[in-house]
Structure 1
Amino acid sequence: MSRILMLSWEYPPLLVGGLGRHVHALATSLVAAGHEVTVVTRHTPGALREEYAEGVHVVRAPDDPPAFPVENGNMAGWATAFNHTLTRAALRAARTAGYDVVHAHDWLVAHAAVTLREHLDVPLVATIHATEAGRHQGYLPHPHNRTIDDVERWLAAEAARVIVCSEYMRDEVVRQFGVPVAKTDVVHNGVDVLRWYARPRAIAAARRRFAGDAPLVSFAGRLVYEKGVQHLIAAVPRLLETSPGLRVVIAGDGPYRAELEAMASPAVSFAGFLTGHSLTALMGASDCYVVPSIYEPFGMVALEAAAAGTPVAVSSTGGLAEIVEHGVTGVTFRPQDPEALAASVGSVLTDREFARGLARRGRRRVREDFAWPEIAARTHAVYEAAQASGGMTREAERVLAADRLLTA
């Protein structure tokens, strides 16, 4: 049995994107395997400051005053303040519990993670879910973007092991941050197939709400430029030619929403942020679920839609190209190419037998290759590797080398 201290800036009921769902599923799966897990995260109104939920010890840290507003995507100041309160909450939890490893999820918890690594004298494992450079297609336009890039590089250097979700992300982290290949571990995201099963009555209600008898295409995610929703919207006129009456539903919110709404035709509707059964029902009701991302380290939402029994169409970029086999478990298209998107999605909408085959094989692939118990076991193996290495970091290696010179 291992005792794991996990740090994340989001955790249910506070969900911003896929990271919170990932951490929740990983934590509960590790507990189910017999390990002790404490998750220290951000507090949200209505949630308990501390509780045991599904066997996980959850500690929620309230924001420190004064408030640090997030403006123009600049989260650096807010993250610095957040790490202070996160560190204090984690240290309080550590008074009554010993830990074997600290597991940090992304740069937003980096400072707290390194502090706790030093204080508890245990290895640090870091999961890099995405990079700032990747989100901006290699361009770091503002000082805060470059600051975030530096924090990501520092976290990767300080960690004993770095977990990434795909071979694509391993290449990116190695290239971008100079992390040794031997120090990185590819552990795919997992999906709970049962979690994404919607009852027929809920699916029927979603169809009545969003499309009636018309073909239904959906997308769910954070509305930011790199998710590529603008290309899905641009493909709608072409899709309407082969699928009259088509309805496209975009679920989610984000800073790019107003621009997307301005470019959308009447065939497109914005459902806002959907969670739980509402999102599952939308996916299950859809004739095709589209992931038009420009940048996507893994693409967990494509697997979630497949688990819901829906044929998926994804851009052939990043981790998406690794998890969807064109014509077998879904269809793919060139990123940032509305014509190619329309052709691929159209092939699903106009051939229902083809679509049913994709859905059937896609769901089977999720069940066989992305089950959470197996993902949790692979993650725990990384913890054991970090402990076996002694948790040595670049900085620790430099200090040790200096000490040896002084005593030689």
Structure 2
Amino acid sequence: MTKSLSICMVSDFFYPAMGGVESHLYNNSQCLMQRGHKVVIITHAHGNRRGVRYLAGGLKVYYIPALIVYSNASLPTFFCTFPIFRQIFIREQVDIVHGHQAFSTFCHEAILHARSMGLKTVFTDHSLLGFGDASGIFINKLLKFTLSDVHHAICVSHTSKENTVLRAALEPQQVSVIPNAIIAEQFEPDPGARDPSWITIVVLSRLVYRKGIDLLVAAVPRICKQYPRVRFLIGGDGPKRIDLEQMREQHLLQDRVELLGSVKAADVRRVLVRGDIFLNTSLTEAFCIAIVEAAACGLLVVSTKVGGVPEVLPRYMITFAVPEEDEVVGALGVAIGRVGTRDAHPELSPMHFHGQVKKMYSWHNVAERTERVYFKIADAEEPPLIERFRKYYGCGLVAGKLFCLVAAVDFLIGVVLAWLWPKEQIEIARQFNNDRYRMEISNKSE
């Protein structure tokens, strides 16, 4: 029998917000619980959703009030979250703290506090960052601080691993590659849902600069002009939506470009099965789970060749383009030509696409590989405090000293908190009975 662990996932990015990180957290946690582990999630409050909530399968989520500053990330407070994080870690008898996403303030703070308490830590990086812009330099230095004292790191693609190893100056053997996945059963093709009088191109994305919406704005009018039978379904919301609306008005494409706005997770398949081609115009992408969902629904995929995208799908499922306007238009033209030949090529049929994606990506496989990482570090010997300071000191002439100071202050705060609220006086949370939950669900379904 494998050892049961208590795992705390931490990120600013979780439901009800939508995205790849949110999906990864939820589905990986559910599969880890099915493997016998206890999983709780810490995130910031979303509107009226605050306090403790239970999701399907007994997944416990702590929604902590916090000030949101940018792109759903909370305001950095360094030490202010330590008291509540410590309470949760002790109440839930946490063995491993697993932070997600370099842009998440809660992730970095939770890992810092967990290390001050002597807990094991894991970090998963879901993004790619550059080295030449101000934001990239700042996040890279922050990541270097966090990963200097983390037990193991996970990346969602080999390209992402190379990027993280360079950004944080890590040893490659300290980083594992575990991709994202989907629940393939939720993305069954439905040939009857598409309109045969149109070739429909679907876009589902956050409408922000990083997702290449400027490329989309430039390409849509050219494609509509060259191919009279083509129309676009564009789902998602963000600051770039106004650019799409202006483009549609300027070129009189109201009948051929449908803007769906924000699309709920439960409605993603319903939108995808209406299409023939899925378009991704991202300028940077570590994995891109959206193209996997589209391929599972049987769509031909056109994507910019950036980051870890070339690792995701077989070449017969996807057409690549350099992230330039002419290249995107050309790649869409190739895909539009392939749509008419799908009936003559069984390997291009929607059901074949679905079957192949189902074999390649499974959350159960992701959970099993993540579990191996946990077991690898669970019994690792805890280094002395001075060794932690040596790791931080190596982060730079000035930054190293600052990082040592932050770690020292956090450790001292932990000592004070242990004196004010001794561990023995903190009530341990009751264990959720998963077996009883499954039995009740089974009885209701019968």
Same fold, judged at TM 0.5 (above): yes
CA distance in 2, matches of 1:391, 1:343: 57
2:53 match: secondary structure:
strand
Any unmatched runs of 5+ in structure 2? 394-446
Equivalent position to 1:311, from 284, 300, 317: 300
CA distance in 1, matches of 2:12, 2:360: 28
Structure-1 residue corresponding to 2:40:
38
Q: Is 2:92 the counterpart of 1:92?
A: no
Equivalent position to 2:9, from 6, 11, 16: 6
Q: Is 2:259 the counterpart of 1:270?
A: yes
- Aligned partners of 1:42 and 1:86 also within 8 Å: no
Report the TM-score, using the length of structure 1 for normalisation. Answer: 0.83
Structure-2 residue corresponding to 1:80:
76
Partner amino acid for 2:91?
T
Structure-2 residue corresponding to 1:229:
213
CA distance in 2, matches of 1:281, 1:163: 32
CA distance in 1, matches of 2:40, 2:84: 11
- Aligned partners of 2:286 and 2:308 also within 8 Å: yes
CA distance in 1, matches of 2:384, 2:166: 19
Q: Is 2:276 the counterpart of 1:287?
A: yes
1:247 match: secondary structure:
strand
CA distance in 2, matches of 1:86, 1:17: 25
Partner amino acid for 1:23?
L
Q: 1:25/1:214 Cα in 2 relative to 1: closer, same or farther (>3 Å)?
A: same
Equivalent position to 1:157, from 148, 151, 154: 148
Q: Is 2:366 the counterpart of 1:375?
A: yes
C-alpha deviation, 1:48, in angstroms: 5.4
Q: Is 2:133 the counterpart of 1:140?
A: yes
C-alpha deviation, 1:44, in angstroms: 1.7
CA distance in 1, matches of 2:11, 2:345: 37
CA distance in 2, matches of 1:84, 1:216: 51
CA distance in 1, matches of 2:159, 2:385: 24
CA distance in 1, matches of 2:302, 2:336: 10
Q: 1:399/1:332 Cα in 2 relative to 1: closer, same or farther (>3 Å)?
A: closer
Structure-2 residue corresponding to 1:406:
none
Partner amino acid for 1:332?
F
**Structure 1 residue runs of 4+, over 6 Å off?**
none
- Aligned partners of 1:298 and 1:318 also within 8 Å: yes
Q: Which aligned pairs between 1:109-188 and structure 2 lie closer than 5 A?
A: 109-133=106-130, 138-141=131-134, 146-188=137-179
CA distance in 2, matches of 1:168, 1:99: 31
Q: Which aligned pairs between 1:11-26 and structure 2 lie closer than 5 A?
A: 11-12=14-15, 14-26=16-28
CA distance in 1, matches of 2:109, 2:262: 30
CA distance in 1, matches of 2:197, 2:17: 32
C-alpha deviation, 1:241, in angstroms: 5.5
CA distance in 1, matches of 2:238, 2:386: 38
Structure-2 residue corresponding to 1:363:
354
CA distance in 1, matches of 2:344, 2:51: 49
Q: 1:306/1:398 Cα in 2 relative to 1: closer, same or farther (>3 Å)?
A: same
Q: 1:240/1:382 Cα in 2 relative to 1: closer, same or farther (>3 Å)?
A: same
C-alpha deviation, 1:119, in angstroms: 4.1
Q: Which aligned pairs between 1:202-281 and structure 2 lie closer than 5 A?
A: 204=193, 213-240=197-224, 243-264=227-248, 265=251, 266=253, 267-281=256-270
Q: 1:256/1:4 Cα in 2 relative to 1: closer, same or farther (>3 Å)?
A: same
Q: 1:85/1:32 Cα in 2 relative to 1: closer, same or farther (>3 Å)?
A: farther
CA distance in 2, matches of 1:168, 1:394: 33
Q: Is 2:310 the counterpart of 1:321?
A: yes
CA distance in 1, matches of 2:199, 2:49: 39
The superposition leaves residues 205-263 of structure 1 with CA deviations (integer Å, 9 ceiling, x where unpaired) of: xx5xxx78422111111112221233234333453366423211211112222234333
RMSD: 3.0
Residue identity over aligned pairs, in percent, reads 22
Equivalent position to 2:339, from 349, 368, 393: 349
97-106 or 115-124: which moved more? 115-124
Partner amino acid for 1:298?
F
C-alpha deviation, 1:299, in angstroms: 1.0
C-alpha deviation, 1:354, in angstroms: 6.4
CA distance in 2, matches of 1:325, 1:392: 44
- Aligned partners of 1:117 and 1:124 also within 8 Å: yes
379-388 or 292-301: which moved more? 379-388
Q: What is the count of residue pairs matched by the alignment? A: 379
- Aligned partners of 1:28 and 1:56 also within 8 Å: yes
CA distance in 2, matches of 1:145, 1:350: 43
C-alpha deviation, 1:68, in angstroms: 5.7
C-alpha deviation, 1:341, in angstroms: 2.5
The superposition leaves residues 140-171 of structure 1 with CA deviations (integer Å, 9 ceiling, x where unpaired) of: 14xx5543332222222231111000011011
Q: Is 2:319 the counterpart of 1:331?
A: yes
CA radius of gyration, larger in: 2
Q: Is 2:94 the counterpart of 1:103?
A: no
Q: 1:396/1:198 Cα in 2 relative to 1: closer, same or farther (>3 Å)?
A: farther
Any unmatched runs of 5+ in structure 1? 403-408
2:114 match: secondary structure:
helix
Q: 1:396/1:79 Cα in 2 relative to 1: closer, same or farther (>3 Å)?
A: farther
